[in-house]
Chain A
Amino acid sequence: MMEMHLAQNWDKVEPMKKGYGRGLVEAGRRYENVVAASSDVTGSTGTDLFAQTFPDRFFEVGIGEQNLVAIGAGLAAMGKMPFVAAYGAFSPGRNWEQIKTTICINDQPVKLIGTHVGLSDSGDGATHQMLEDIALMRVLSNMTVIAPVDSIEAAKATLAMAAYPRPAYARIARDDTAIITTENTPFAIGRAYIYRGGLDVSLISTGRMTTYAMMAAKILAKDGIDAEVVHVPTIKPIDHAVILGSAERTRHVVTIEEAQINGGLGGAVAEVLSENLPTPMLRMGMNDRFGESGGPEELFKHFGLTPVNLAMTAHRLLMDHSGHKH
């Protein structure tokens, strides 16, 4: 299997909002109809770069996320391509019905950006840690759900969304995040990518957990286990072919995400597999509990979301299911 083109080393870090900000400015240059809005979080969502570059095409709506997304729907109705950004905890956390009615039923191409998602708003605690957004957005008809792995992919996703004529939601983490992709790593809405080929177990991941999945694969390799890493930057519509192909090869699946596994990526992959190719699987992520305050790394350890945890989970799955060399 051909190896995916990824960065040589992963020492460089950057918050994903930087990628969103750069992508949005580039989208603004390419497409005159791109506009942006934010609800008093222009800087912390990375929208400030666009606001400075295109002041007439940026709208500050104040602290009102319900208004934010419905204004987006109105702008889209007049031919605009609006990007509306807020903390994921508040958008889509607070305004789900407005998103359903004014964006999804209307089928307006509003682009929702939820920042500080997963555990990445670490110090702020459970109220600000958005773990339910994948589930909330995934059940909406007409909606697309995207979770990039790093700032470079966030920029690509932003540009792709600007040319995408349907509603979409992208979730991006707050912290400095390792850059593992390059400008040449492929990204298209609706596609999943095999970042590392393997035959023993599929580690299926989204968002920045893909970096951890790659690290877990290295740990497993030392134990003689050949793990495949499937990066799923688009959770809806999910790439059936790539997920089923991987499951067919390895017959064992572990999903990992920085979100609730119920309704999240784990839920989505379980739906695909159980209906098409029932496969032993385990889901890692938040299991029906809220987050809490702590340091970023500290929280991953606390909730069992480290590369070592993932490698151990893969071991457990392989041991529990006979037929493998264990």
Chain B
Amino acid sequence: MAKTSKNYSTADIQKKANQIREDIIKMLEHAGSGHSAGPLGLADIFAALYFKILKHNPDNPDWEERDILVLSNGHCVPVLYAAMANAGYFSRKELMTLRQLGSRLQGHPERMRLPGLETTSGPLGTGLSQAAGMALGLRLNKQQHRWVYVITGDGELDEGSNWEAIMLCSKYKLSNIIAIVDRNNIQIDGPTEVVMPLEDLKAKWEAFGWHVIEIDGNDVDAVIDSVNMAKAIVEKPVVILAHTIPGKGVDFMEYDFHWHGVPPNHEEAMKALHELRTLQGKIESEHE
């Protein structure tokens, strides 16, 4: 049965999120390339998903009653791999094979390589469309009790094809889709509002027929509550605009778009791990 049947407390999930962050730092340092800021910012959402929200079974990734998680912003896959490993899909040791030749943990997720991945992503703007197809398929299969979660970046919404999918989900009233936008306000070239302004983002989704919930995406209780609220909305699809701090948990990475697409070097990784283990100086590390 699903690991989520375990009754994790908020504190447990926060601990999982911190473990996921440590794993992300170690993976990225070891791999020598990859994206730092987004995955760190998403750790609380992924901890909430994999340890509370998702109906899933790490021992049987193809379980026919599972919920579907589509990671549209594939470059944030380190957070997905770390969450999956911590949930028991594979050993945490395997995380250190990220981006290595022959690894199941490709630089961007590939469905055919790793059980538990629902799709392949990286090129931005395809997750919502695939999720729409999945939701339509579930409707035909009379499995509307299964939820389809789509995680997208905010900069990713620059891709026009997203809005084709956003219109379609609304047209077909795909209420078993819950989209979560990682609203961290950065993309590679700089702040989203400088590169290509997205605001008023809430009004945009609403104008396209979606129900919008805005939350602090680094607050696991807010994540869990918002998903529960989303599930109660049956007449339209729901998007959660999750405001996150890019680089969350590592002081010198937080809010800095320069950390979007680069990994920490050894010294930076040590510093980051120390911060994560001491909760940015609030507690004493057990490791040092």
Q: Which residues of B contact A117 (CB under 8 A)?
A: none
Whether A78 contacts B126 by the Cβ 8 Å rule is no
Q: Identify which of A99-107, A165-173, A181-189 touches chain B.
A: A99-107
For residue A73, which residue of chain B has the nearest CB?
B130
Query: For B137, what are the chain A residues with a Cβ–Cβ distance below 8 Å?
Result: 35, 74-80
Contact between chains at B133 and A105 (CB < 8 Å):
no
Interface band, chain A:
20 to 34
Contact of B165 among A67, A76, A78, A80 (CB under 8 A): A67
**Which residues of B lie under 8 Å from residue A107 when comparing CB positions?**
112
In the bound complex, do residue B126 and residue A101 qualify as a contact, i.e. CB atoms below 8 Å apart? yes
Is the beta-carbon distance between B123 and A101 smaller than 8 angstroms?
yes
Q: Are A106 and B111 interface neighbours, CB within 8 A?
A: yes
Residues of A near B278 (CB, < 8 A) are none
CA distance A78 to B138 in the complex (A): 7
User: With A and B bound together, what is the CA distance between A324 and B118 in angstroms?
Assistant: 59
Give a binary string over A81-117; 1 marks a CB under 8 Å from any B CB, 0 the rest: 0100000000000000110011001110000000000
A71 and B136 form a contact (CB under 8 A): yes
Also in contact, A67 and B168, with CB within 8 A (given A72-B133, A74-B129): yes
Q: Whole-angstrom distance between the alpha carbons of A76 and B167 in the complex?
A: 21
Of B110, B112, B133, the contact of A70 (CB 8 Å cutoff): B133
- Report yes or no: B126 in contact with A102, Cβ–Cβ below 8 A: yes
- Contact indicator B140/A98 (Cβ below 8 Å): no
Interchain nearest-CB distance for B62 vs A (Å): 11
Point out the residue from B68, B119, B141, B171 that lies within 8 Å of A102, measured CB to CB. Answer: B119
Contact between B112 and A64 (Cβ–Cβ < 8 Å)?
A: no
- With A and B bound together, what is the CA distance between A198 and B169 in angstroms? 56
A101 touches B120 (CB 8 A): yes
Please tell me if A66 contacts chain B, counting CB pairs below 8 Å.
yes
B130 touches A74 (CB 8 A): yes
Taken together as a complex, chains A and B put the C-alpha atoms of A64 and B126 apart, in Å, by 12
Query: Which B residues, 123 to 148, have Cβ-Cβ distances below 8 Å to chain A?
Result: 123, 125-126, 129-138, 140-141
Query: Are the CB atoms of B161 and A106 closer together than 8 Å?
Result: no
Report if A11 contacts B (CB, 8 A): no
How many angstroms between the C-alpha atoms of A97 and B124 in the bound complex?
10
A70 touching B123, Cβ below 8 Å = no
- Nearest residue (CB) in A for B167 is A62
Question: Is A61 on the interface with B (CB-CB < 8 A)?
Answer: yes
A186 to B143, CA, bound (A): 40
Tell me, rounded to whole Å, the shortest Cβ–Cβ distance linking A91 to chain B: 13
The main secondary structure of chain A at its interface with chain B is: helix
- The reply to whether the CB of A303 lies closer than 8 angstroms to some CB of chain B is no
Whether the Cβ atoms of A77 and B119 lie closer than 8 Å is yes
A220 to B107, CA, bound (A): 57
B164–A67 contact, CB under 8 A?
A: yes
B140 touches A77 (CB 8 A): no
Inter-chain CA distance A238–B138, complex, in Å, is 36
Q: Enumerate B152-187 residues with CB–CB distance to A below 8 Å.
A: 160-161, 164-165, 167-168, 171-172
Q: B133 contacts which chain A residues (CB < 8 A)?
A: 70-78, 82
Q: Does A57 sit at the interface, judged by CB under 8 A?
A: yes
Chain B residues with CB under 8 Å of A98's CB are 123, 126, 129, 161
B135 to chain A: closest residue by CB = A74
* Distance in angstroms between the alpha carbons of A80 and B141 in the assembled complex: 9
- B132 contacts A71, CB within 8 Å? yes
Specify which of A35, A64, A76 is in contact with B161 (CB 8 Å cutoff): A64
* B100 CB to nearest chain A CB (Å): 19
Of chain B, the residue at the smallest CB distance from A82 is: B133
- Select one of B110, B111, B140 contacting A80, CB under 8 A: B140
A70 in contact with B129 given A75-B136, A75-B137, A101-B123 (CB within 8 Å): yes
Question: In the complex, what's the smallest C-beta–C-beta distance from B235 to chain A, in angstroms?
Answer: 19
Known: A62-B167, A66-B161, A77-B133; 11 extra A-B contacts, CB below 8 A, are: A62-B168, A71-B130, A71-B168, A74-B132, A75-B137, A76-B133, A97-B123, A102-B129, A102-B130, A106-B119, A106-B120
Interface residues in chain B, defined as those with a beta carbon under 8 Å from any beta carbon in chain A = 68, 110-112, 118-123, 125-126, 129-138, 140-141, 160-161, 164-165, 167-168, 171-172
25 contacting pairs across A/B (C-beta < 8 A): A35-B137, A35-B140, A56-B140, A61-B168, A62-B167, A66-B160, A66-B164, A67-B129, A67-B165, A71-B165, A74-B119, A74-B129, A74-B135, A75-B133, A76-B133, A77-B118, A78-B134, A78-B140, A80-B140, A98-B123, A98-B126, A102-B120, A102-B126, A102-B130, A106-B111
